[in-house]
């Protein structure tokens, strides 16, 4: 696997805590030769509860071992559906993220997953970036550059700057210039977390209605957003920080408390509109206006969210499928692509994406025959 194109399986469980995505990608660590099969394994109610109970905890904390074991078991079960994968990129489950203190925690033992699957596993992608002084997030931006390069080569995008907006538990925005020679080239990428996206909405639905999410934004569409709550939300100092910058999933946990006095529908509408407002603020930091905003992640299925973005952004806002990409699997594909870059000692982050002082390669490699993890 030291040269040429490789079939890699990327696996991702995000901060929305809904399940595991898995997707095949064929790559040499720079170019994308093609996309392959994908799959999804939803967490049961009990499994989701285990992960929620461990949120905010560090290694050794209460419930962390259970969450880590659950992560390995669920990923291993899904990986069996992809025997063609020569390598696995395993993100693990983010439980806590504190780059100011140079620490981040993605639960799940990649060495155990390598033994379970019988294949090499690249994991712990964020720690090295944080150790070197970066934010450790977001990590998909270099892959977004590769996606833009792929789409331009197939006539699906013009060779001009474009923005990728991922709406998971937290929102993140990547500005990419596909004309650059490589993602680590100066000026090729700028990326940062925009603010909370699905996480507060999901937490609201879980607390009030026992549901995992506001399916399709149906509840938010029935409500009226509270302008005062949104104004207070946008006054948070995070929005005045210059990027690159990143957020912990629960950095805005108080946001749910701010809608406590609103009806279910108005609360959902307010949290949805706030997420879109944070994206509008984020555009002010970009080096040049992008030709369009391509939306990926679960949030693009939320009609209320997409409508709010369309109102607030003076740009075309389209699902990433408009460029021939799979918005449900983009992050899983990203960690497959990044896995091969780690194996080949190529940069996975840079000053414009995480604020790390120089391009960094972050990740550990575990082999199924119990050889030492690198």
Q: Which residues pair with 196 in a beta bridge?
A: 170
pLDDT digits (tens, 9 = 90+) for 298-343: 899 999 999 999 999 989 999 999 999 999 999 999 999 999 999 9
Residues 295 and 224 in one domain: yes
Is pLDDT of 38 > 70?
Answer: yes
In this prediction, residue 172 has a pLDDT band, given cuts at 50, 70 and 90, of very high
pLDDT for position 131: 96
* pLDDT range class, residue 246, cuts 50, 70, 90: confident
Beta strands per DSSP E along 245-320: 293-296, 317-319
Tell me what pLDDT residue 15 has.
79
pLDDT band at residue 348, thresholds of 50, 70 and 90?
very high
What does each C-alpha distance from 212 to 22, 45, 276, 349 come to in angstroms?
20, 9, 20, 32
Residues 189 and 233 occupy one common structural domain:
yes
The per-residue pLDDT for 250 is 80
Residue 235 maps to a domain: yes
Q: Which pLDDT score is estimated for 253?
A: 81
pLDDT band at 374 (very low <50, low <70, confident <90, very high): low
Distance CA 67, CA 94 (A): 10
355 vs 116, 136, 198, 273, 335, CA distance in Å?
A: 35, 9, 25, 28, 20
Q: Angle at CA 249, nearest 5°, toward 349 and 188? A: 25
* Domain presence at residue 293: yes
Tell whether 180 and 299 lie within a shared domain.
Answer: yes
Query: Does 23 share its domain with 89?
Result: yes
Q: With respect to residue 145, please indicate whether it lies within any of the assigned structural domains.
A: no
| pLDDT (0 to 100) of residue 254 | 81
- In the chain, the percentage of residues whose pLDDT exceeds 90 is 90
| End position of a domain, from candidates 289, 308, 323 | 323
Average pLDDT, rounded, for the chain: 95
Q: Is residue 143 part of a domain?
A: no
Query: What whole-number distance in Å separates Cα of residue 172 and Cα of residue 334?
Result: 14
For residue 77, is pLDDT > 90? yes
Q: pLDDT, tens digit, for every residue of 92-137?
A: 999 999 998 999 999 999 999 999 999 999 999 999 999 999 999 8
Residue 151 lies in a domain: no
Q: Is residue 373 in a domain?
A: no
Co-location of 191 and 301 in the same domain: yes
Domain containing residue 193: CATH number: 3.30.420.40
pLDDT at site 371: 58
Q: How many domains does the chain have?
A: 2
Shared domain for 56 and 167, answered yes or no, is: no
In a domain, 244, yes or no: yes
Nearest Cα to Cα of residue 205 among 197, 218, 214, 196? 214
Shared domain check, 121 and 227: no
Query: Which of these, 373, 345, 344, 99, lies nearest to 244 by C-alpha position?
Result: 99
Query: Do both 126 and 215 map to the same domain?
Result: no
pLDDT digits (tens, 9 = 90+) for 1-31: 878 999 999 999 987 889 999 999 999 999 9
Distances (CA, A) of 16 to 50, 116, 132, 319, 370: 13, 25, 27, 19, 32
One domain, residues 341 and 242: no
| Contact present, 350 and 139 (Cβ < 8 Å) | no
240 exposure class (CB count in 10 Å sphere: 0-12, 13-18, 19+): exposed
Residues 188 and 286 in one domain: yes
Whether residues 104 and 38 fall in one domain: yes
Do 336 and 319 share a structural domain? Answer: no
pLDDT in tens, 185-242: 999 999 999 999 999 999 999 999 999 999 999 999 999 999 999 999 999 999 999 9
Q: What is the domain extent for residue 269?
A: 156-323
Strand ranges, E, within 56-188: 87-98, 103-107, 121-123, 162-167, 170-176
Q: Evaluate whether residue 50 is within a structural domain.
A: yes
pLDDT score of 370: 66
């Amino acid at each position: 696997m030291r040269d040429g194109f490789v079939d890699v399986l990327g696996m991702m469980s995000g901060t929305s805590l809904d399940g595991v995505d898995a997707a095949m990608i064929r790559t040499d660590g720079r170019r994308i030769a093609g996309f392959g099969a994908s799959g999804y394994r939803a967490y049961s109610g009990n499994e989701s509860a285990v992960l929620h109970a461990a949120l905010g905890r560090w290694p050794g904390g209460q419930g962390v071992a259970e969450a880590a074991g659950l992560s390995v078991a669920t990923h291993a079960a899904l990986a069996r559906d992809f025997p063609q994968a020569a390598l696995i990129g395993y993100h693990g489950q983010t439980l806590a993220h504190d780059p100011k203190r140079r620490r981040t925690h993605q639960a799940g033992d990649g060495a155990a997953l390598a033994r379970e699957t019988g294949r090499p596993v690249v994991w712990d992608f964020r720690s090295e970036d944080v150790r070197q002084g970066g934010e450790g997030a977001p990590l998909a931006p270099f892959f977004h550059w590769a996606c833009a390069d792929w789409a331009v080569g197939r006539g699906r995008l013009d060779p001009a700057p474009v923005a990728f907006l991922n709406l998971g538990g937290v929102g993140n925005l990547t500005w990419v210039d596909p004309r650059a020679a490589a993602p680590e080239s100066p000026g090729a990428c700028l990326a940062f977390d925009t603010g909370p996206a699905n996480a507060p909405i999901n937490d609201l639905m879980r607390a009030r209605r026992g549901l995992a999410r506001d399916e399709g934004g149906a509840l938010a569409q029935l409500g009226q957003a509270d302008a005062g709550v949104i104004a207070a939300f946008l006054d948070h100092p995070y929005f005045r920080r210059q990027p690159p910058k990143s957020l912990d999933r629960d950095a805005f946990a108080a946001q749910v408390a701010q809608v406590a006095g609103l009806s279910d529908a108005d609360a959902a509408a307010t949290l949805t509109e706030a997420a879109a407002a944070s994206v509008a603020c984020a555009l002010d930091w970009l080096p040049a206006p992008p030709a369009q905003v391509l939306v990926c992640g679960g949030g693009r299925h939320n009609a209320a969210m997409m409508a709010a973005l369309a109102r607030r952004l003076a740009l075309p806002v389209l699902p990433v499928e408009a460029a021939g990409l799979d918005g449900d699997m983009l992050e899983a594909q990203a960690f497959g692509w990044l896995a091969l870059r780690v194996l080949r000692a190529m940069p996975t982050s840079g000053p414009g994406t995480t604020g790390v002082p120089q391009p960094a390669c972050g990740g550990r490699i575990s082999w199924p025959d119990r050889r030492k993890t690198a």
